[in-house]
Structure 1
Amino acid sequence: MSNNTIRENIQKAIGAHGAWKMKLRTAITHGSSEITPDKVRCDDQCEFGKWLYSPSIDPQTRNGKPYQVVRRLHAEFHVCAADVLEHAVNQRAQQAGELIEGEFADRSKILTKALTKWKGELTG
């Protein structure tokens, strides 16, 4: 897999995961969501997750620290997003709001930073 392909997938992931805050805020406002917390919790269901777990990523990349760190942070991001959504769909807007502004914001920032760092380390 070329570094350009990896860079493209990372860039898409940064945008897609940034959009989650808006989706979660909508769920908090409406108290409902088209997607379930259980599905959100699975980090291999979004486009980036499907790519991250796909066999198209070579073993050298998989064994590298940037991949390992991003994979872990991505999974943690999904668990936290699912927790926010769980509160939202169970009419616990205050708890969801506190979580989205606290832990979710932190995890989102850390994941974006790791993705950006990985992207910057790619050569070619």
Structure 2
Amino acid sequence: MNTQDMRDELNDALGRHAAWKLRLREAAIAGETDLPVDMIKREDCCKFGKWLQGLPAETRNSPEAQAVHELHANFHLIAGGVAAQIASGQTEGALAALNGQVYKNSTDSLARAVTRWRMSLT
């Protein structure tokens, strides 16, 4: 994979993962109970996670990629927890979690790590 393709994928990942907050908020407000919680919790079920898994070992094992992988997995656990609250009808708790520091720290940390990785590509 060339450097530009990697940059493009990292840019797309930033937008897709930022959109999770809106999707989860809309699901909470709509009272959705059929969310695929188990899939949301897994970092290897989204397009970016599949892309990360498919990278060559030398790329996947770089410090930047490892940091993104760990933060990406953490993000999905947190988002999955919010989805579980929504699915069980705990709308107020889910909305509070989306506005809380844990969710914010997770998304901000992932965004910073993806940006660092993108900037490290020459």
TM-score scaled by structure 1? 0.92
- Mapping of residues 1-124 of structure 1, within 5 Å: 1-32=1-32, 35-54=35-54, 57-102=55-100, 103-123=102-122
- Unpaired runs of 5+ in structure 1? none
CA deviation after TM superposition for structure 1 residue 58, in Å:
2.1
Q: Indicate the SS of the match to 1:44.
A: coil
CA deviation after TM superposition for structure 1 residue 59, in Å:
2.0
Query: Is the Cα contact below 8 Å between 1:31 and 1:90 reproduced in 2?
Result: no
- Unpaired runs of 5+ in structure 2? none
Q: Deviations over 1:64-102 (max 9, x none)?
A: 100000000000000100100111121111211221112
Whole-Å Cα distance in 2 between the matches of residues 58 and 90 of structure 1? Answer: 39
Identity of aligned residues (%): 33
Whole-Å Cα distance in 2 between the matches of residues 74 and 58 of structure 1? Answer: 18
Q: CA RMSD in A?
A: 1.2
User: How many residues are aligned here?
Assistant: 121
Runs (4+) of structure 1 exceeding 2 A deviation are none
